[in-house]
Amino acid sequence: MHLTRRNRILRQSPAIRAMVAETIIRPSDFIAPLFIIEGANVREEISSMQGYYRMSIDNTVKEVKELWSMGIKCVLLFIKCKDELKDNKGTEALNSDGLMQRSIKAIKDACPDMVVMTDVALDPFSTYGHDGIVEGQEIVNDATVEVLSQMSVSHAKAGADFVAPSDMMDGRIGAIRDALECNGFTKTGIMSYSAKYASCFYGPFRDALDSAPGFGDKKTYQMDYANRIEAVKETLMDVQEGADIVMVKPAMVYLDIIREVRNNVDVPVSAYHVSGEYAMIKAAAKMGWLDENRAILESLTSIKRAGADLIATYFAKDAVKLIS
Ligand code: PBG
């Protein structure tokens, strides 16, 4: 044969493959989600997320220092609210001495350079497990946005670098930006869950925080997985309203959406490799059906290749160990 172009030339050795690799994942790409609970020296494994833990503040602080030493620059905080503190108004979400607010302070005290992002939504605080205030069977928009704005200010006061609204109410980014401005928090960023789909892949997370919806589902606020153009609409609106970083969630079943969003906005795009995506890899690996380490690297690289600048993933630590 006389071929002009032989593509295998660029694949023939590890050195050449490394030279021409188009996508490289690095520690500063990752956002490490953390689940925080009350108590001292607590570290309990989440049954549906093997190898991932709920931790009390003291252990969380140790974890954050370790993540920082590994080169991970950002954590995303979720708290598990005690049942007796839950209501339908988000009262505990606004408590300046609440678990979230104490966690932010403790982390920023111990590791001031770590970028701290906080989840803003009512589900962990809601007796109904919904992301907003419930009236009858409805999750009401505007009253919820008011609470989310106050919640964001409360997180900013505690020292959060970014608030991350994950609720999918309309108009919340503009309202949060305005509330931050009004309270002088001109350096607090917003990472918006802009295109968040109503997905079955959040199941293990809801176990972790005991936050499954008590009735119905989240389809009146989270997006229909059949839709792509709507993701662009949602994201462009969030950018207009003041989002600094936008997000697509979940990640691997939505690689097309990540690419679509990346091609349409002028801000960094993050993707959330969610609990169910983590659990699938863990379960298959446990059965011996997948090589876990290779599955981690291939998955995270695919998310970045699709266009994500940042990846929230429960594999952040594993990935850093694998690439260093
Ligand atoms: C809730 C929230 C969810 C996740 C992040 N924030 C669950 C939901 O919307 O029900 C899911 C994260 C994951 O599955 O890893 N505001």
Q: Ligand 1: residues whose CB is within 6 Å?
A: 119, 121, 123, 131, 166-167, 202, 205-206, 218, 274-275
| Intra-chain end-to-end CA distance of the chain, in Å | 41
Q: Exactly one of 86, 187, 218, 249 is catalytic; which is it?
A: 249
Q: Exactly one of 65, 105, 187, 196 is catalytic; which is it?
A: 196
Over range 218-231, report the average pLDDT.
98
**Residue 283 confidence (pLDDT) above 90:** yes
CATH code, 200: 3.20.20.70
CA of 166 to the centre of ligand 1 (A): 7
Is residue 249 part of the annotated active site? The answer reads yes
Assigned domain for 3 exists: no
Provide the CA 161 distance to its chain's centre, in angstroms: 15
Using the 8-state DSSP alphabet, how is residue 87 labeled?
B
Q: What is the dihedral of CA 41, 44, 45, 48, to 10 degrees?
A: -140
- For atom 14 of ligand 1, the residue with the nearest CA is 202
108-140: pLDDT as tens digits: 999 999 999 999 999 999 999 999 999 999 999
Assigned domain for 310 exists: yes
157-191: pLDDT as tens digits: 999 999 999 999 999 999 999 999 999 999 999 99
- For atom 2 of ligand 1, the residue with the nearest CA is 166
Write down the mean pLDDT value for the chain: 97
Assigned domain for 230 exists: yes
pLDDT at residue 243, as a whole number: 98
Over range 193-218, report the average pLDDT.
94
Are 76 and 312 in contact, with CB atoms under 8 Å apart?
yes
Domain count, the chain: 1
Assigned domain for 197 exists: yes
Q: Which amino acid is at 77?
A: L
pLDDT at residue 210, as a whole number: 86
238-254: pLDDT as tens digits: 999 999 999 999 999 99
Assigned domain for 131 exists: yes
CA of 195 to the centre of ligand 1 (A): 13
Query: Distance between CA 255 and CA 244 in Å, rounded?
Result: 21
pLDDT at residue 198, as a whole number: 98
Residue 51, domain extent: 24-323
Assigned domain for 19 exists: no
Angle at which helices 255-262 and 292-306 cross, to 10°: 30
Share of the chain above pLDDT 70, in %: 100
Assigned domain for 10 exists: no
pLDDT at residue 293, as a whole number: 98
77: nearest Cα among 133, 145, 31: 31
**Residue 286 confidence (pLDDT) above 90:** yes
Assigned domain for 6 exists: no
Over range 133-156, report the average pLDDT.
97
Is residue 233 part of the annotated active site? The answer reads no
State the pLDDT confidence band at 22, using cuts at 50, 70 and 90: very high
Angle at CA of residue 217, ends 36 and 203, nearest 5° = 45
CA atoms within 13 A of residue 147's CA, in its CB half-sphere: 26
